[in-house]
Amino acid sequence: MSNPVIELRDVKKSFGPVEVLKGVNLKVYAGQVTALVGDNGAGKSTLIKGLSGVQPYDSGTVLFDGQEVDIHDPIQASQLGIEVVYQDLALCENLDIVQNMFLGREELLQKTLDEPSMELQATKALQSLSVRTVKSVRQKVSSLSGGQRQTVAIARSVLRNAKLVILDEPTAALGVAQTEQVLNLVQRLADSGVAVLIISHNLADVFKVCDDISVLYLGRMVTQIETTETTQNDVVGYITGTKSVED
């Protein structure tokens, strides 16, 4: 297998006396969907925040494309090619899809907004993910469903040429059909060569789209295992701590 896009080695993070990440290792590969599962409070969000630069780690090594990097703010993470799709979506309802996809990175022509160029790129990004549910790229986000909003948020990371896309519980608020759509989208994103790290509590979803499952238990990575080599029952065991790799 090729080199991982991102690799964490012995990453630690404490809040005062509480050690939340106790030396975590993780590898995420291009073109693969890696699941990050674990019970509430296991440290998943803390792990993500270190990668997105919101909350840097205390110690440990982060390798991006094999290079050691020190991610200490969100802008730097974004420059490396790390995009996070937050659970609460971070879209502006009063703006349309194009405007949201380019928010904060508007393209200019003679100091004014270059609308045709942005519209074209947004359309292509959506098409590249075979998005079928969106009627018009000039639709206001307020008129979109939850799944369509996730779609826009994910397509935004395509536009930004992300190498690693992190999704925090992307299907938590969605119905069956929309969950299906978003999972398909995640699959296509990975197929296009992006490394995807997805946090989920829904093991059925995880087994549907993920190539790789990594399980956090009380701040330790119990295992990172290929989906084909494990079962849902085993993963539940890892998550709840009733099973460890030695068993």
Partner 1 sequence: MTNQNSTGLNLAAQDIASGHEGGVVDQVKAYFARVKNGEMGALPATGALLVLTALFSYLSPYFLTKLNFANLFVQAAQLTTLAIALVFVLLLAEIDLSAGVAAGVAMDVFYLTTTFGVPWPIGLVSALLVGVVLGFVLGFFVAKIGVPSFVITLAFFLGLQGVALILLGDGGLFRVEVPEVRAIMNDNLPVWGGWLLLAIVLLVSGGMGLYDRYRRTASGLVNRPLSLLLIKLAFMAVVGGGVVYVLNLNRSASVKEISGVPIVIPIVLLIIFLGTFLLDRTKFGRHLYAVGGNPEAARRAGIKVVRIRITAFMITSSLAVVAGLFHVSRIGVVEAAAGRTIVLSGVAAAVVGGVSLFGGRGRLIHAALGAMVISIIDNGLGLLGLSAGISFVVTGTVLALAATVDAVSRKRSGGIRRS
Residues of this chain that interact with partner 1 (CB under 8 A) are 74-75, 78, 86, 88-95, 99, 103-108, 111-113, 115-117, 119-121, 123-140, 142-149, 158-159, 161, 175, 178, 188, 192-194
Q: Which amino acid is at 6?
A: I
Reduced to 3 states, what is the DSSP secondary structure of residue 220?
Answer: strand
Q: How near is the Cβ of 57 to partner 1 at its closest, in Å? A: 20
In the list Mg ion, partner 1, ligand ATP, none, the entry touching 187 (Cβ below 5 to 8 angstroms by class) is none
Rule CB under 6 A: say whether 215 interacts with ligand ATP: no
Q: How near is the Cβ of 156 to ligand ATP at its closest, in Å? A: 23
CB 197 within 8 A of CB 167: yes
Q: How near is the Cβ of 243 to partner 1 at its closest, in Å? A: 38
Q: How near is the Cβ of 41 to ligand ATP at its closest, in Å? A: 4
Rule CB under 6 A: say whether 42 interacts with ligand ATP: yes
* DSSP assigned state of 130: T
**Closer residue to partner 1 in complex, CB, 124/245:** 124
- What distance separates the 2 farthest-apart alpha carbons in the chain? 65
The three-point CA angle 127-132-134 to 5° equals 95
Residues 160-189 that bind Mg ion (CB under 5 A): none
In the list ligand ATP, partner 1, Mg ion, none, the entry touching 43 (Cβ below 5 to 8 angstroms by class) is ligand ATP
Q: Which amino acid is at 206?
A: V
Give the number of other Cβ atoms within 10 Å of residue 155's Cβ.
Answer: 27
The three-point CA angle 185-189-195 to 5° equals 135
CB 14 within 8 A of CB 58: yes
For Mg ion, the binding residues (CB under 5 A) are 45
